[in-house]
Chain A
Amino acid sequence: MTRSLRRYLSLHAQSFASAAASLARQPIATLMTALVIAIALALPAGLRVLVGNASSIVGSWDTAVDFSAYLAAAVAPERAREIAEDIRRRADVEAVRLVTPDEALADFRARSGFGEALDALGENPLPYTLVVRPASGAAGDVEGIAAALREIDEVELVQLDTEWVERLRALLGLAARVLDVITALLAVGVALVVGNTIRLEILNRAAEIEVIKLVGGTDAFIRRPFLYLGLFYGFAGAVGAAVLIAVVLELLAEPTAAVAALYGSDFRLAGLSAGDAAVLFAGGALLGLAGAALATARHLRAIEPR
């Protein structure tokens, strides 16, 4: 190692030790500050995880453009099969599945959990249903098939499930934008919290800073432990945020699985991906550093030996 590099490393080691010592001196205060930062970071990061989960659900519906056409209750089985056959012959239709009232009832019973209520009804209230799979997912094609179905007298209702999927997708897009704003605001908040903590630390150590300046400490030397302190607070806050998110997801895991089961899905909440975690840790550390840089730039200069 060259002399200057050794000198550089030794100075950093000393600054780091000094920062660590000042944290250890007031463990409770340190913990509280880290916790505040953790919560501020966990909020946007956690919401991002939730929106990510919701998007992945909606995204999995991309291919599921099947839609349903309900026939009138009185339609005879032969007529129902005829209509299904007519539609199936269209070039823009890939497949049609005819669901009998009995099948529909059995399915509903199994999925909804309202079995006993249905038993009380006595008679099956459900009509024949055509589940149509268009050849393409293009909106125009789907509308064309739907229009043709509506022309048929016995078709009572055409339900285009895709509409609400589109709406939900738009809402999720909006939520993502709102999240960006929240993230930006809370990022500024984290930098300010760290900055304020560092400012107090600087004021607490004014006498020490004076002495260091008197014996020839450079601005960089004096600044360094405070920058390490900011870096630590940011990073510790990010680790705390990751833990908070993991705990909340763990608490939500069982209820989510129960709801998913009702919809016949084996959907599981996804946690922070490795990439997300890396962004969170790096982001937290950088925000802490930025806050400390801000505080030192503003307050160190004012402390001069008298």
Chain B
Amino acid sequence: MIRFENVSKRYPGGREALRGVSFHLERGEMAFLTGPSGAGKSTLLKLVTLIEKPTRGTVIVNGQNTSRLSRRAIPRFRQRIGVVFQDHKLLYDRSVFDNVALPLVILGLGPREIERRVRAALDLVGLLGHERDAPITLSTGEQQRVGIARAVASRPDILVADEPTGNLDPELSLEIMRLFERFNEVGVTLLIATHDLDLIERFDKRRLRLVDGLIESDTAAPGRAA
């Protein structure tokens, strides 16, 4: 589902953020991307969502080589990927409902279908009843859950999250990770960047550890290890 082949990324004028990274995340797999700050986690996720393109190597997402996608093809590509950000990236002048509805509106769904899916997504993250609220009136954890509802409302094949629990207390963090685990159970492929090792200890999932732009270790889910 997500395949990196010897991928390097050098920012203009900067040093190499990724240096020959290779891995393959299968359809329906869930993995944590760990490593210290500055290791290249965000860069790797940006290559998946086509915010950046690799300097060298190949990134294949959903069967598509991202280096070969034209500018015009990017929106359709992104419509099949859900993204969760550490800073939520909500639209603060719109209601919770409108925020979650945004990707569905982009897909051109009818109002009834949008309503149904938004409510389903908000129900999943435990925010049903908050449709009319302004995001600013919600707590950080609730805002993050609105962001997650938006990411899953369009039922994407892939969900990537960059430090989704970065600003949350341990209890809320655990709750959010459990949420991701449930998406994985219904077949969504997930790649989650986090440096919260204590948190991921509690999940039986694959771990990719990045250090200084290199994959230092790629450990399969501990429970499944031979």
Contact = CB atoms under 8 A, between A and B. Distances in A.
B83 interface: yes
Chain B: interface residue count, which band?
A: 20 to 34
Interface of A: 6-8, 10-11, 14, 25, 207-208, 210-219, 221, 304-306
B108 A212 contact: no
Interface in B63-108: 72, 75-81, 83, 89-91, 93, 102-103, 105-108
Contact of B91 (A25, A208, A304, A306): A208
B106 A211 contact: no
A29 to B, nearest CB: 15
Contact of A215 (B109, B110, B111, B150): B150
Contacts of B110: 6-7, 10
Contacts of B49: 214
Nearest to A25: B93
B105 A214 contact: no
B106 A216 contact: yes
A269 to B, nearest CB: 47
B108 to A, nearest CB: 4
B78 A216 contact: yes
A221 B74 CA distance: 13
A218 B106 contact: yes
A215 B103 CA distance: 6
B103 A7 contact: no
B105 A216 contact: no
Contact of B108 (A11, A211, A219, A304): A11
Contact of B111 (A10, A25, A304, A305): A10
Interface of B: 49, 51, 72, 75-81, 83, 89-91, 93, 102-103, 105-111, 150, 154
B108 A215 contact: no
A278 B94 CA distance: 36
Contact of B102 (A11, A25, A212, A305): A212
Nearest to A22: B93
B108 A213 contact: no
Given A10-B110, A11-B108, A219 B91 contact: no
A304 B106 CA distance: 17
B108 A216 contact: no
B16 to A, nearest CB: 18
B43 to A, nearest CB: 11
Contacts of A217: 75, 102, 106
B217 to A, nearest CB: 29
Contacts of B78: 213-216
Contact of B103 (A216, A219, A306): A216
Nearest to A8: B108
A14 B105 contact: yes
Contacts of A208: 91, 93
28 contacts: A6-B110, A7-B109, A10-B105, A10-B108, A10-B110, A11-B108, A14-B105, A25-B93, A208-B93, A211-B89, A211-B90, A211-B91, A212-B102, A212-B106, A214-B49, A215-B78, A215-B102, A215-B103, A215-B150, A215-B154, A216-B76, A216-B79, A216-B80, A216-B81, A216-B107, A217-B102, A218-B75, A219-B75
